[in-house]
Amino acid sequence: MKQTSDRQALCEEIVRDYERRRRERRALELQWRLNMDFYNGKQYAEITPLGDVEEYGKQFCWQEREACVRRATTSGTCRPRSLRLA
């Protein structure tokens, strides 16, 4: 009987710890999702009060909805300086 209650207490502690850690990392995961959306061209996204990442529409008639993401190549920055001078 004691062994069953010990197992039950251990399981409850594990679930509580999991839920606590999930709540703690939620903001970080949302920021990562927002950053990845921006990188992929969805620059009109935001984190909603409900805790999700959503795109928002035009707020004024004069706004444009084009993505302005430019990615530079890293080929010139990854080589050693001695090779770049040659």
Between the CA atoms of 62, 39, 70 and 77, what dihedral angle is there, to the nearest 10 degrees? 160
Sign of CA dihedral 21, 27, 30, 32: negative
SS3 (DSSP) at 82: helix
pLDDT score, position 2: 74
Query: d(Cα 37, Cα 80) in Å, to the nearest integer?
Result: 32
Between the CA atoms of 46, 47, 48 and 51, what dihedral angle is there, to the nearest 10 degrees? 160
Average pLDDT for runs of 10 along the chain of length 86 = 85 96 93 90 85 82 68 58 57
pLDDT score, position 68: 60
pLDDT score, position 52: 87
pLDDT score, position 77: 57
pTM more than 0.85: no
Domain spans, the chain = 2-59+68-85
